[in-house]
Amino acid sequence: MGGRGLSDRTSCGDRSRSALSVIEKEALAGFPRIRGARVHATVPISQEILNYLLRTIQIGVKIEEHNRVLISFRMFRAAAEIVGVTPDLVVVLSTSWVLRTTLRAVLAWKPSLQAYMAEKDGFVYVFCGLIPAVRRYEYLWQHLTEVRARTQAGRLILDLDIHVR
């Protein structure tokens, strides 16, 4: 019997730890004891929550229908369309030549943003996984295998496939 129950509870540390701390430890270790788990999740993220997460890099978004988003950075505002989201949370946006040119200028003016955004081959890439508030939970989202994004006015809906390998 390989279980570790109360029979050896004296080896447990702080008595204030709860079952949640066990799950958190497991998560930080990469979920070694739930290998093979498969989860599908549909997660609606309101515009408000998204802006809350993005505020550390001073970017704001307004979410519209049909995968369209309005992105703002200080005085700049531009429309874009979400083309896709990769499992490492890179959001690929299709946008106008004007915006891409503007973005190039913004990235040159504010090099710190280059860690979070890039413009290449006619697309704009937002590295959401590198945003501090999101990166903090990499131990959780590293198990994503597929991400599909769609929008409704005011909210982004993510369909997530998770596989703990």
49 binds other proteins (CB under 8 A): yes
Q: Contact letters (x/-) for other proteins, 134-153, by CB under 8 A?
A: --xx----------------
Residues 6 or more apart whose Cβ sits within 8 Å of residue 6: none
157 binds other proteins (CB under 8 A): yes
Least spacing, CB of residue 67 vs other proteins, in Å: 17
10 binds other proteins (CB under 8 A): no
Nearest to 124 by CA among 151, 84, 160, 153: 84
Least spacing, CB of residue 48 vs other proteins, in Å: 7
Residue 153 CA to residue 151 CA, distance in Å, equals 7
- Tokens found for residue 52: 């809350």
Locus of tokens 């955004």: 117
Locus of tokens 């702080």: 14
Q: Applying CB under 8 A, which residues contact other proteins? A: 1-7, 9, 12, 15-19, 21-23, 26, 33-44, 46, 48-49, 52-53, 56, 132-133, 136-137, 157, 162
